[in-house]
């Protein structure tokens, strides 16, 4: 199914909307503004569809005001222009959410780099589309791989990044990523915001949270790893997650609950102790203590998919038990309640570390270099659930 790369609306098979490219003057479009486009002014729209007289979806429309024909298709929801031929492409849409300081920007930087490397081993080529290359390089890749702390995502609803995945054995598809600024998440209320409605329409929504924002973890690791500047921190997971879930209700999106910066919890296991938490984290057999990404890359597609599902299902169960020791009630219980009420398609828990080491300095990410841990798991799971193999 093809989806709008901006608001993630699935393009209906029986209806199409065009925009006039003739003599008409642009005018204010309140619906486009409602879905996040600032000061939107566009030319008149033309809606066409399948009818008893028209058996096939029209490829053009006629403007009722200037009588000019047009084939420039727009999204029926946000009214953004769509690339020529976009209706025929396959899309996988994902949104990255979380409070300020949860590590979203670092995660995206390392995720895309790791995904490209993994794809090569799977004989798949992933390439940037449009302005994605400069946007990703400037705002994500360069700062992370220069070992500098990121300032975070700027508030707003405009940036969209797209990559095309191509393999000789299957039809190409597009991976579309929207990064929601922590400030925007924290401003949300219990009411859905149309500007962020793409969270609900996404095939996969990731909610990243920093375990150091859990009081019990922070106390145990005081003096073991560097304290984070409070001015760079946002809402606690308990506050941020319900705001994200309030944007979801259709039952379409899968939610990946991502314990980011899991290296900090590894440090908790290193501290030791006789309690259940320390023993659980120090267990070398636990799935959250090892990463099978390299092993999966060598498997054939069917075997890798089966292995990923079994591995992450086991990891999900382990993390649920671990989180019950870290907070009471577990921080993610509201996500399970949303899934039970069918506001979400599915929930699964993941543990990732983008750089593989806790920061020792406010302006430096790591002393040991980038060494990601399980960073691909949430996205590979989402791709698999949506019918894509990588």
For the purposes of burial, counting CB atoms within 10 Å of the CB of 233, is it exposed (0-12), middle (13-18) or buried (19 or more)?
Answer: middle
Q: Which of 87, 112, 140 is the last residue of a domain?
A: 87
pLDDT single digits (tens) 107-154: 999 999 999 999 999 999 999 999 999 999 998 998 787 755 555 555
**Same domain (yes/no): 123, 76:** no
**Predicted confidence (pLDDT) at residue 287 exceeds the cutoff of 90:** yes
202, 383 Cβ separation under 8 angstroms: no
The answer as to whether 2 is a domain residue is: no
**Same domain (yes/no): 290, 159:** yes
Structure letter (DSSP) for residue 328: S
**Same domain (yes/no): 78, 101:** no
Measured distance CA(374)–CA(20) in Å, rounded? 47
The answer as to whether 165 is a domain residue is: yes
**Same domain (yes/no): 330, 357:** yes
- Per-residue confidence (pLDDT) for residue 367, from 0 to 100: 44
Cβ neighbours of 125 (radius 10 Å): 15
- Per-residue confidence (pLDDT) for residue 217, from 0 to 100: 73
The answer as to whether 302 is a domain residue is: yes
pLDDT single digits (tens) 73-115: 999 999 999 999 999 999 999 999 999 989 999 999 999 999 9
**Same domain (yes/no): 291, 378:** yes
Q: Which of 36, 64, 87 is the last residue of a domain?
A: 87
Q: Is the peptide bond before 216 cis (omega within 30 degrees of 0)?
A: no
- The mean pLDDT of the chain is 88
- Per-residue confidence (pLDDT) for residue 67, from 0 to 100: 97
Which pLDDT band, with edges at 50, 70 and 90, does 226 fall under? low
The answer as to whether 6 is a domain residue is: no
196, 247 Cβ separation under 8 angstroms: yes
**Same domain (yes/no): 56, 165:** no
Measured distance CA(17)–CA(59) in Å, rounded? 10
Measured distance CA(99)–CA(292) in Å, rounded? 29
pLDDT single digits (tens) 332-377: 899 999 999 999 999 999 999 998 755 443 444 444 557 899 999 9
Cβ neighbours of 120 (radius 10 Å): 12
**Same domain (yes/no): 97, 70:** no
- Per-residue confidence (pLDDT) for residue 95, from 0 to 100: 98
The answer as to whether 3 is a domain residue is: no
**Same domain (yes/no): 38, 95:** no
**Same domain (yes/no): 149, 29:** no
**Same domain (yes/no): 225, 292:** yes
The answer as to whether 8 is a domain residue is: no
Query: Model-level pTM greater than 0.75?
Result: yes
165, 125 Cβ separation under 8 angstroms: yes
**Same domain (yes/no): 134, 23:** no
48 is in which domain, residue-wise?
15-87
The answer as to whether 205 is a domain residue is: yes
The answer as to whether 80 is a domain residue is: yes
Length of the chain equals 390
C-alpha distances out from residue 86 to 2, 10, 55, 90, 291, Å: 7, 12, 21, 9, 37
Helix axes 237-245, 333-340, angle to 10 degrees: 20
Among 336, 360, 356, CA closest to 347: 336
**Same domain (yes/no): 207, 312:** yes
Mean pLDDT for 54-81 is 96
- Number of structural domains found in the chain: 2
Q: Which of 87, 115, 145 is the last residue of a domain?
A: 87
């Amino acid at each position: 199914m093809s989806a709008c790369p901006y608001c993630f609306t699935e393009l209906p098979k029986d209806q199409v909307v065009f925009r006039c490219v003739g003599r008409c003057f642009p005018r204010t479009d309140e619906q486009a503004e409602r879905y996040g486009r600032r000061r939107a002014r566009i030319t008149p729209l033309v809606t066409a569809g399948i009818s008893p007289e028209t058996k096939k979806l029209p490829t053009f429309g006629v403007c009722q005001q200037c009588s000019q024909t047009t084939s420039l298709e727009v999204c029926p929801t946000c009214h953004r222009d769509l690339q020529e031929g976009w209706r025929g492409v396959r899309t996988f849409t994902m949104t990255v959410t979380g409070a300020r300081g949860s590590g979203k920007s670092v995660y995206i930087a390392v995720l895309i780099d790791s995904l490209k490397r993994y794809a090569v081993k799977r004989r798949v080529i992933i390439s940037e589309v449009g302005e994605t290359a400069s946007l990703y390089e400037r705002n994500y890749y360069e700062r992370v791989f220069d070992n500098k702390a990121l300032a975070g995502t700027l508030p707003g609803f405009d940036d969209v990044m797209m990559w095309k995945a191509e393999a000789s054995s299957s039809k190409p598809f597009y991976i579309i990523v929207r990064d929601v600024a922590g400030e925007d998440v924290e401003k949300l209320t219990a009411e859905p915001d149309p500007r962020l409605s793409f969270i609900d329409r996404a095939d996969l929504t990731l909610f990243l949270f920093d375990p150091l924002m859990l009081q019990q973890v922070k106390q145990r690791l005081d003096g073991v790893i560097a304290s984070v500047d409070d001015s760079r921190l946002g809402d606690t997971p308990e506050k941020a997650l319900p705001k994200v879930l309030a944007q979801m209700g259709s039952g379409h999106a899968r939610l990946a609950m991502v314990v980011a910066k899991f290296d900090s919890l590894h440090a908790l296991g290193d501290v030791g102790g006789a309690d259940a938490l320390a023993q659980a984290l120090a267990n070398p057999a636990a799935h959250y203590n090892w990463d099978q990404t390299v092993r999966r890359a060598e498997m054939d597609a069917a075997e890798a998919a089966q292995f990923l599902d079994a591995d992450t299902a086991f990891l999900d169960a382990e993390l649920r038990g671990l989180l019950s020791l870290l907070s009471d009630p577990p921080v993610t219980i509201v996500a399970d309640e949303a899934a039970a009420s069918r506001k979400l398609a599915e929930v699964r828990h993941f543990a990732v570390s983008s750089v593989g080491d806790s920061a020792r300095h406010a302006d430096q990410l790591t002393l040991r270099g980038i060494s990601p841990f399980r960073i691909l798991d949430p996205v590979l799971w989402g791709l698999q659930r949506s019918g894509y193999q990588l």
